[in-house]
Structure 1
């Protein structure tokens, strides 16, 4: 049965396919709503049109009043605010904008588990629980399992009970059919892309085409490993300054014919994790029509975005997503690689035993691993020791593009046997996860039992449950209002006494747009027009309890109407610019930027605090004052 979001997506795709051109909206009503949305964004700061003094900013309360008058629908997202206050209260004084994704659990669960552990520890007869003995210990541990990917997919890897529970919950959350797709737990995106590079037949399907407008470590690993196997690597280009896909060039690469039977691997995200630029589903259709295997990267997609991925229309061969434990904490977690069962045969010729596949092991209050399929406490001596775990994990980070040595495989596999000897596969009864109505209040939601149950243990995935309760439309609308208000607010900050109205902030990617993604790439410039080092801005933001990301934009394409030299003024020295003699050189130039990502728990106060922090750079002496203050507090000085 399709969810309401999927039915809605079906209607949208029907009208979208009627338009043969790429990346164009064919609805006048949609264009009108976009125009009205832009006008509302501008009016949200009325009557203010320019700010040159950080000490004269309007109050948070005043601007919030203007904001809600411009976007009255924002008040309908109050449930997200209630969830944040009651379940993520550690964010009270913390603006978390440095990563995006899906959190499994809530912060309040951490406190509950911690309190329960302290209580249980006072009784020697208390049974072990799926808990931990301090607030810094995670809900589970990760153990690497070297294996051949095809064998794992074809014969089925041996799952722990926790693996099964989490796999079923994630598959349900992602709206993916277990009849069509197999799922593999991986350590992270880098290990996943290396796993694919090790096993994909680049010797016969020689093309690799990636669509990323920023430097991505996982993509670099994929490119490096595939080249060593003889792949021909191509990358999409992005038009300056909006960072939209250069459609003509990408279409040419997607549709060009090769003599070999198979085309290769097309790696495609639906939006940029840095600039917030969204990309058309039509590229998936075009790639499928031209014989590409498709790896869909959903790491930049927010919670419930998978409801619009249209797997009913475009079923990618491979799909990657990631999940972290708790939002606002260290974003540790794991990756998930979904492989379409009919596409798994592409790995059949691979004999590589790769590191990257993992198993999830629950942590007990004593730091041991608990397996519910066993009727007794597993003795510590039977479990992998911390040093053994470290050894297995080091193998992942130190492994090259080729398979690990047989000796290393045998050592790690022997470790696995210690754990797997006590494991049994059981049928897991997965509770039905239903979409809660947006009007459902937080108390009703918290009392609702949406847990995965096995035996006498319940595991609540409150982070996923919260996303389910809010729903796609509410989450997307909320982030849309906030990110566009912030862009508009940033663009009206201008340095004082500037003859030409020198802006404080430069936005990379789409500006105010109805359909942009929940991410923003920007830089701050001083009164002389020179870029302030993004790493320095990050450090100063962190001192104000604001967590920002950073990265490097790449694959930039400059049209003839743009003066490339002017565009690169803040990127390289005059001496370096003289070396950029052709467009290929310019494509290789990277632009270091600050990034901000917006999730379902982001609120207006977060936006205001970031805006107020950025405005401090209107003071020409702000950086020097901060350096002096930092040194005066007997802390390590910030290097500019």
Structure 2
């Protein structure tokens, strides 16, 4: 039990940590960008005093006290309470499940309340207001609004010839184009399964044989980029990457500029550029897009790591990338499945070549459990009737060894009207017949489910972001992420001769212009890094979802070269450990834990992450957790 002196000392320490000069009041709800920058710099300057340290997780102030001091430091945070109201009314499962989600990247399409209350007909709403949400938290099976099925079409033919769209797809495309502030006169949109599929589509269709360069700007390992690099190399492309300077991980602009301004301006290649690192939160100027285009590059803008309203700041009517990729998931904190959208600028589509593959998808209505039962029953009846017919046909063919085999011919129109595929269905091959039956069933569902008078797709998750607006969302995220970064840096091991911090932040720290994501690692009292997988597993068992990543393309100046051997890890291209005699290509970088904040994140979420990480101040925390879960017959944590 702590003594009163210890408790008072910790409270005084925290007041020094978070009791800051108040922001100037403004008659408007949110100040201008310049005012906000000044306010944050003044406030955060007071947050980084060297004596703002915590060496014991039990000395942390309570949630209530922390929030009180937080709102005193940032009084305008209360003006973002509309986001809290939306969370309470539409995403109440986050509170009921007591789970904190820092692992969602992209844009949420629907709300949890919409999913639960509207069930099968949720996407198409006949009224503008929804019924009051039920407060009963249930894990019952509900339709996730839509499923995806792969489409036999390549990107070039899809762009050139298009294809028939269901009403669901048409309405979804229209809503997303409006969100992205893009015109159908300028861009064609294609649905893909995920970011990896979108990047593969572009890589397989891009003429790397003539435009032989691929230049990427990523401070972390990205699976989609890896697939693009592999595809481009198979076509003879020269792959280049931007570099990031240690320890700030700032983009080395001079080196990147030299690569952008290469010779043979008319055949530069593809410039792949994210405006923000979805791991470190580092932001890059969108003027790089213009510079690349002026120097003959085609530009792919990766918007998957951007916030829900960040696209409004781009002015895409002025900075038009040739390709744009953005991800969408169904319901935040509930259903992370979804799709990715690839936008191709029509004036650039002529460069695309025919390719193979089935990365393009179509959206089909999801089936309710009752529908599945009915379909299974109908299939049983149809199978019985089919068997009788086959027996009758076989009887008629008895005695004629050279007689024709009974076949049914079915034609499927592809996205290219000049091409048709005939699927030959042999009744002796039921698996092929079932595939055709499934296709016909999906087609009939589209007609029956979305051709009966519904005409408006309600994506309430996107609507909520629209209602809050860019300024409110950005200000809220700015306060939360900077407080979290500073809070993590305030944790320090006790009785440490060198003052070893518990947490190391990679990339931007307390900074006005940073994204709502943070990459970090936890270290023990001896200064050794705790495996990010261990941190992730323990967080998950405390109802906190974190992600992992691998930072690379890091450039070390001479004065930091001695740190390189201590910091940099080497692993295989597949992420495994390096074994003696391995012939796989090796990658050097830093494995990290990452947390991403969204517009639904609140102060309690970041406080819980801070409190969880602080538990590593206990030197025996990992070992205690390992034995505790072993005793409970849970999966052990390997340490």
Q: Report TM bin, short chain.
A: 0.7 to 0.9
Alignment partner, residue 79 of structure 1: 82
1:469 aligns with 2:467: yes
Alignment partner, residue 304 of structure 1: 309
Measured after TM superposition, the shift of residue 422 of structure 1 is 5.4
Give 3-state SS (helix, strand or coil) of 2:267's partner: coil
Which of 61, 64, 78 matches 1:61?
Answer: 64
Which of 512, 518, 521 matches 1:520?
Answer: 518
Quick one: structure 1 residues 51 and 336, their matched pair in 2 at CA, closer, same or farther if it must change by over 3 Å?
Answer: same
Q: Deviation per CA, 1:577-633, whole angstroms, max 9, x where unpaired? A: xx9xxxxxx994110000000000001111110001111011111111111111111
Structure 1 residues 414-425: aligned runs within 5 Å: 418=440
Q: Deviation per CA, 1:80-121, whole angstroms, max 9, x where unpaired? A: 00111111111111110012221100111121134989xxxx
Paired with 2:355 and 2:238, the residues of 1 have a C-alpha distance of 21
Alignment partner, residue 360 of structure 1: 363
Contact 1:144–1:355 (8 Å) recurs in 2: yes
Q: Deviation per CA, 1:508-537, whole angstroms, max 9, x where unpaired? A: 001100010011000000000000000000
Quick one: structure 1 residues 408 and 609, their matched pair in 2 at CA, closer, same or farther if it must change by over 3 Å?
Answer: farther
Paired with 1:33 and 1:116, the residues of 2 have a C-alpha distance of 43
Quick one: structure 1 residues 366 and 631, their matched pair in 2 at CA, closer, same or farther if it must change by over 3 Å?
Answer: closer
Measured after TM superposition, the shift of residue 560 of structure 1 is 2.2
Paired with 1:192 and 1:419, the residues of 2 have a C-alpha distance of 27
Measured after TM superposition, the shift of residue 43 of structure 1 is 4.0
1:529 aligns with 2:534: no
Alignment partner, residue 351 of structure 1: 354
Which of 252, 257, 267 matches 2:263?
Answer: 257
Give 3-state SS (helix, strand or coil) of 1:279's partner: coil
Paired with 1:329 and 1:546, the residues of 2 have a C-alpha distance of 14
Quick one: structure 1 residues 457 and 316, their matched pair in 2 at CA, closer, same or farther if it must change by over 3 Å?
Answer: closer
Q: Deviation per CA, 1:461-512, whole angstroms, max 9, x where unpaired? A: 1101110111111111101100000111111110000122110000000110
Alignment partner, residue 322 of structure 1: 327
Paired with 1:71 and 1:315, the residues of 2 have a C-alpha distance of 37
Measured after TM superposition, the shift of residue 364 of structure 1 is 3.5
1:40 aligns with 2:43: yes
Give 3-state SS (helix, strand or coil) of 1:175's partner: coil
Alignment partner, residue 447 of structure 1: none
Alignment partner, residue 539 of structure 1: 537
Measured after TM superposition, the shift of residue 353 of structure 1 is 3.3
Alignment partner, residue 201 of structure 1: 207
Paired with 1:83 and 1:409, the residues of 2 have a C-alpha distance of 52
Paired with 1:592 and 1:43, the residues of 2 have a C-alpha distance of 31
Paired with 1:252 and 1:340, the residues of 2 have a C-alpha distance of 26
Q: Provide structure 2 residue ranges, at least 5 long, that are not aligned to the other structure.
A: 1-31, 123-138, 384-420, 426-431, 571-577, 579-584
1:163 aligns with 2:160: no
Contact 1:554–1:587 (8 Å) recurs in 2: no
Give 3-state SS (helix, strand or coil) of 1:506's partner: strand
The count of corresponding residues between Structure 1 and Structure 2 is 529
Measured after TM superposition, the shift of residue 45 of structure 1 is 8.6
Give 3-state SS (helix, strand or coil) of 2:546's partner: strand
Structure 1 residues 143-182: aligned runs within 5 Å: 143-182=149-188
Alignment partner, residue 97 of structure 1: 102
Alignment partner, residue 501 of structure 1: 499
Alignment partner, residue 638 of structure 1: 637
Measured after TM superposition, the shift of residue 229 of structure 1 is 0.8
Measured after TM superposition, the shift of residue 63 of structure 1 is 1.4
Contact 1:42–1:488 (8 Å) recurs in 2: no
Contact 1:508–1:522 (8 Å) recurs in 2: yes
Paired with 1:453 and 1:106, the residues of 2 have a C-alpha distance of 24
Alignment partner, residue 619 of structure 1: 618
Measured after TM superposition, the shift of residue 38 of structure 1 is 2.8
Structure 1 residues 22-33: aligned runs within 5 Å: none
Alignment partner, residue 558 of structure 2: 560
Measured after TM superposition, the shift of residue 258 of structure 1 is 2.5
Measured after TM superposition, the shift of residue 330 of structure 1 is 3.8
Alignment partner, residue 338 of structure 2: 333
Paired with 1:559 and 1:45, the residues of 2 have a C-alpha distance of 26
Paired with 2:453 and 2:604, the residues of 1 have a C-alpha distance of 43
Measured after TM superposition, the shift of residue 61 of structure 1 is 1.1
Contact 2:271–2:292 (8 Å) recurs in 1: yes
Paired with 1:604 and 1:302, the residues of 2 have a C-alpha distance of 18
Measured after TM superposition, the shift of residue 46 of structure 1 is 8.6
Contact 2:516–2:598 (8 Å) recurs in 1: yes
Structure 1 residues 446-465: aligned runs within 5 Å: 455-456=453-454, 458-465=456-463
Contact 2:262–2:268 (8 Å) recurs in 1: no
Structure 1 residues 538-617: aligned runs within 5 Å: 538-562=536-560, 564-572=561-569, 588-617=587-616
Q: Deviation per CA, 1:311-345, whole angstroms, max 9, x where unpaired? A: 02210011000100000124110000011111111
Question: TM-score, normalising length from structure 2?
Answer: 0.77
Contact 1:114–1:135 (8 Å) recurs in 2: no
Which of 221, 224, 234 matches 2:240?
Answer: 234
60-69 or 500-509: bigger deviation: 60-69
Paired with 1:354 and 1:416, the residues of 2 have a C-alpha distance of 21
630-639 or 528-537: bigger deviation: 630-639
Contact 2:493–2:499 (8 Å) recurs in 1: yes
Alignment partner, residue 249 of structure 2: 243
Contact 1:546–1:610 (8 Å) recurs in 2: yes
616-625 or 136-145: bigger deviation: 136-145
Paired with 1:200 and 1:170, the residues of 2 have a C-alpha distance of 25
Answer with 1 or 2: which has the greater Rg: 2
Measured after TM superposition, the shift of residue 549 of structure 1 is 0.5
Give 3-state SS (helix, strand or coil) of 2:114's partner: helix
Give 3-state SS (helix, strand or coil) of 1:561's partner: helix
Contact 2:215–2:270 (8 Å) recurs in 1: yes
Q: Provide structure 1 residue ranges, at least 5 long, that are not aligned to the other structure.
A: 1-28, 118-132, 370-376, 386-405, 427-451, 574-578, 580-585
Question: TM-score, normalising length from structure 1?
Answer: 0.77
Quick one: structure 1 residues 618 and 339, their matched pair in 2 at CA, closer, same or farther if it must change by over 3 Å?
Answer: same
Paired with 2:479 and 2:321, the residues of 1 have a C-alpha distance of 31
506-515 or 85-94: bigger deviation: 85-94
